[in-house]
Structure 1
Amino acid sequence: MTLDVQYEQEIKIPVRYVNVPQNAVITSNEVDTLRVVVGDKGITLLGLLYGNSNNSIDIDFENFARSNGTGVISNIDLQKLIGKTLPASSRIVSVKPEKLVFYYNYGEKKKVPVRIQGQVIPEPLYFISETKYLPDSVTIYASRKKLENISVVYTEELHYENFHDTLTIETNLARLSGVKMVPNKVSVCFITDVLTEESIDNIPIVGINMPEGKVLRTFPAKVSITFVTGMKEFQSLTPDDFLVVADYEEFSHSESTKCNIYLKKVPTAIQQAKLSVNLVDYLIEDQ
């Protein structure tokens, strides 16, 4: 008696695109399943939910594709297509989404790099010394206008905290309307290192914007730099990785016997870099 009563039940119906020309690429990935509320007797709904019948619907590309790179299947057309897969006694109560929009192009594509979004924070005293992507770029298919405006694609939001070993994550790429990504998932590897405060000595001071025939002599001629970095990174550093300068255009107009020096270049993995001194004595010599 229970199974003979009328009920309403949501079922999921997959969508497939058929009769797509060989030179056309469907770039939509927003909706591949419809959520349909169906009304019928309990026994019939049980068959729809747990039976082996194939309730997928086929969207005929040729019937719905427009010349502007889009295709629209209205709610009425969706209900007609869904109705063909249901028993004659079933009635469609609602369909979500109410209409289906797909995008396509004829092979326009380009390759763009991948970047993460979200927060990935290791334990205190550790930092992420390097982030590797596999692959580091993907091919995107979209309309010409969208291709021109997309320079990078992002992963889904990542949230990981309090780790100290290398962390590898398999993640999907964040979806973009009307854009197909190949592949649509990547592997991201976060390589960690231990933070340490270190210093490097004997970094020469270089004069910049010097007039021809003049040489800058500073006292001291070389300085030290303190900084925070990872243990692995520190072991590979040399004084040549840093650049300390004094600008002739600045100190040539000053009556002081001292000039400012600036840290102009540091490796990307260096944090909180500081010079041992910021002012030095100087002389200008003619060559």
Structure 2
Amino acid sequence: MFKKVLQGLNQKKAKVFSLFLICSFLAWFISNLSETYESRAYFTLNYRNLPDSLLLGKNSNNQIEAKLRTSGFQFLYYKIFRSQIDIDVSQVDYRNGQYVLSEEVLRRQMDQQLSQNISLLYLDRNVLDVDLYQVDSKKIPVQARLNLQLQQNYILDGKIKISPDSVEVKGPKNEIDTIQSIKTAPIQLTDVNEDFSSEVSLVFPKGLDNSIFSVGRAMISGKVSKFSEKVFDVPIQVVNAPEGYQIRTFPNSVTILCKATIERLKEISASDFEIVADYGQLDGSVSSKLFLEITESPQKVYDIKLEENTVNFVLERQ
């Protein structure tokens, strides 16, 4: 029984001793952190305020080492969380074909962002080289890579719409001058019988490491309508008849098959077409046939087809 009491007291003393030891260590650690030290710290660089005429290349320095004088608490913070410094690129100088920030400007920018109780003693470089280059810009048309298969008796009513229809690219002149168009990723639409709309990514040419594009996706859309057919009987007009003669064709009219939407066909009449037979095309030959040509036709139709491409004729003296 007496031994058990002694063991309990010893365990209690050990716990109390451990607690005091931990508290003493924390007091010593905090006391040391509150003192002032000189040591090195690393900062991640974030480039800001780029002029419109310049772009940031991929070889810019993204880290800088500095010697600081501050409390141990601050150094502990920098060791755990690598701090970031914003670099105002609008203050760069152009020297010997390169863009640089002088040590004076770099120190001033860093001092403005460090805490008041931190002294900046030393930087690992006299100047900061910034990988910048002059840029041009231009608009590049977007082309849709669309494989559209419509249901029978359906047509694409109007042109394919692309939004945006162009992309602005900024980059070195020798890079962007090689770009003539930007294509979309392939789109496959089958058995379509209604209006469609699809968002698709843009495919940019390879090797444009220093160029920036304004958008990366586009919307492809189109209007689909059901079409029908209608036949029109159109009179034939003869031109370039020889002097003193008139030309009579057999027949004097020709049938045209027109395909369009049902609504559009209701608006079309035979007078919207003009069929011409040109005697001058014979050029002295003795043929008895003239080729027919559609010289006028209504807009917004899918297809127009002549039932006959030639017509017989005779010359009659006036």
The normalised TM-score by structure 2 is 0.50
1:210 to 1:165, Cα distance in 2 relative to 1, 3 A = same
The CA deviation at 1:134 is 2.5
The CA deviation at 1:166 is 0.8
Cα offsets for 1:140-163 (capped at 9, x unmatched)? 334434544444322221122223
**Structure 2 counterpart of 1:184:** 216
**Structure 2 counterpart of 1:118:** 146
Structure 1 residue 280 and structure 2 residue 311: aligned? yes
1:35-50 superposed matches below 5 A:
none
User: 2-side partners of 1:104 and 1:237: how far apart?
Assistant: 59
Structure 1 residue 165 and structure 2 residue 176: aligned? no
Residue 162 of structure 2, aligned match among 112, 133, 157: 133
**Structure 2 counterpart of 1:226:** 257
SS in 2 for 1:250: helix
The CA deviation at 1:168 is 1.2
User: 2-side partners of 1:210 and 1:140: how far apart?
Assistant: 58
Answer yes or no: is the 8 Å Cα contact 1:27–1:142 preserved in 2.
no
1:25 to 1:175, Cα distance in 2 relative to 1, 3 A = farther
**Structure 2 counterpart of 1:257:** 288
User: 2-side partners of 1:215 and 1:246: how far apart?
Assistant: 13
Q: Percent identity?
A: 22
1:191-206 superposed matches below 5 A:
191-202=223-234, 204-205=236-237
133-142 or 210-219, which moves further after superposition? 210-219
The CA deviation at 1:215 is 7.1
User: 2-side partners of 1:253 and 1:163: how far apart?
Assistant: 52
User: 2-side partners of 1:281 and 1:122: how far apart?
Assistant: 39
Q: Report which structure shows greater RCO (CA 8 Å, sep ≥6).
A: 1
User: 2-side partners of 1:253 and 1:136: how far apart?
Assistant: 51
In structure 1, list runs of 5 or more residues that go unmatched. 1-15, 29-52, 69-101
**Structure 1 counterpart of 2:7:** none
Structure 1 residue 155 and structure 2 residue 187: aligned? no
1:180 to 1:104, Cα distance in 2 relative to 1, 3 A = farther
User: 1-side partners of 2:56 and 2:267: how far apart?
Assistant: 46
- Aligned partner letter, 1:184: G
The normalised TM-score by structure 1 is 0.54
SS in 2 for 1:261: strand
**Superposition CA RMSD, Å:** 4.5
SS in 2 for 1:282: strand
Aligned length: 210
